[in-house]
Copies of this chain bind each other. A is one copy, B any other.
């Protein structure tokens, strides 16, 4: 039933995108911003993207978010990358897993896409007060 898809999607969406920091954008903000020109976007984002796709079983939220981040690095769409790196922190990816996912893509997407993505990672780490030391981020020990 539609109601189920909407409620299921809304629950997941709020759980993974809402933070204490009101300055960080959420999917709800996007939906609100386009309510006048595209009122049906809400249904597509909440019911389809979250209610259908994000609620699929078989992959963990961490695996889903790694896949999302990797595809957004390749696409180069920065506002969405910012949003989903925030999701990564919320669902418990460590700083090393987030940076590791992005740096791992150098051989596939090349340096330019990765460097532009790392700028977004730094921005989100600052937004979320994620503090890391050069020492702990060493990739080989």
Contact = CB atoms under 8 A, between A and B. Distances in A.
Q: Is the interface of A mostly helix, strand, loop or mixed?
A: helix
A49 to B, nearest CB: 4
Interface string A100-124: 1101111111111101101101100
Interface string A29-57: 01001111111110111001100111111
Interface residues of A, number: 76
Residue picked from A70, A95, A108, A125, most chain B C-beta under 10 Å: A108
A103 B38 contact: yes
Given A56-B140, A57-B139, A68-B70, 6 more contacts: A39-B138, A43-B52, A53-B107, A56-B100, A56-B103, A56-B104
Interface of A: 1-2, 5, 30, 33-41, 43-45, 48-49, 52-59, 62-64, 66-77, 79-80, 94-97, 99-101, 103-113, 115-116, 118-119, 121-122, 125, 132-134, 137-141
